[in-house]
Chains A and B, each alone.
Chain A
Amino acid sequence: AQSVTQLDSHVSVSEGTPVLLRCNYSSSYSPSLFWYVQHPNKGLQLLLKYTSAATLVKGINGFEAEFKKSETSFHLTKPSAHMSDAAEYFCVGSSGSARQLTFGSGTQLTVLP
């Protein structure tokens, strides 16, 4: 069975400093993994996705994530945080042909001026 764990419910960073949002997955076979962002009162927007091609995935707004099979991780990073990055971030896994998505519990990112 697929499961996704986001290790931090809240992360605070100062503007201009790096962002690290952690996600671990467990799956009996190679998953597809996604990061979505949700701004207040908005729908979820795809940041990036991993589908067994390159292990380093670049997304929108300067975000990237690296799939590490040995660590079963898919952490989201950004070199320099911007105030507009403040939002809720969800790590999402998909496995098998059933098109079933498993959402992590979310990480609230706060960016301090």
Chain B
Amino acid sequence: EAGVVQSPRYKIIEKKQPVAFWCNPISGHNTLYWYLQNLGQGPELLIRYENEEAVDDSQLPKDRFSAERLKGVDSTLKIQPAELGDSAVYLCASSSGGRFGGELFFGEGSRLTVL
């Protein structure tokens, strides 16, 4: 069974340009997460979806970041315009739920470099 798939793996852009990341979760997983991971730090939640509903987006910088999961399956995270400080790894994870969220399965991440 395929794991969580993310693309692109690497992206280099100039500041003020837009960028989008795509995530396809494990089949049947209703819960999807986007995390931001800065170098040498733990992941920080950006947004969590239950099916197509964003149930926790309190940490998403809504002035430049947006996300969607229109059919409750794959998801896109967009940044427009990108800033130098957005350079990081963007991790997608999914889970089948359960009382405490169950095990999270992570993709390999999308590494963004903003020049």
Question: Whole-angstrom distance between the alpha carbons of A32 and B43 in the complex?
Answer: 18
Q: B interface, by DSSP: helix, strand, loop or mixed?
A: loop
Query: B13-21, B69-77, B78-86, B101-109: which one contacts chain A?
Result: B101-109
Closest to A32 in B: B100
With A41-B108, A43-B106 as given contacts, are A97 and B41 in contact (CB-CB < 8 Å)?
A: no
**Are B4 and A43 in contact (CB-based, < 8 A)?**
yes
A110 at the interface (CB under 8 A from B): no
B61 at the interface (CB under 8 A from A): no
Residues on A with C-beta less than 8 A from B53 are none
1/0 contact string of B87-101 vs chain A (CB within 8 Å): 000010101010111
**Are A43 and B107 in contact (CB-based, < 8 A)?**
yes
1/0 contact string of B21-45 vs chain A (CB within 8 Å): 0000000000100000000111111
Interface residues of A (CB under 8 A from B): 32, 34, 36, 41-46, 49, 51, 90, 94-95, 97-101, 103-106
Interface residues of B (CB under 8 A from A): 3-4, 31, 40-45, 48, 56, 91, 93, 95, 97, 99-101, 103-109, 111
Since A41-B108, A51-B100 are in contact, a sample of 19 more A-B pairs with Cβ atoms closer than 8 Å, ordered by chain A residue number, is A34-B103, A36-B106, A41-B111, A43-B109, A44-B91, A44-B106, A46-B103, A46-B104, A49-B103, A90-B42, A97-B99, A97-B100, A98-B56, A99-B31, A99-B48, A101-B45, A101-B101, A103-B43, A105-B42
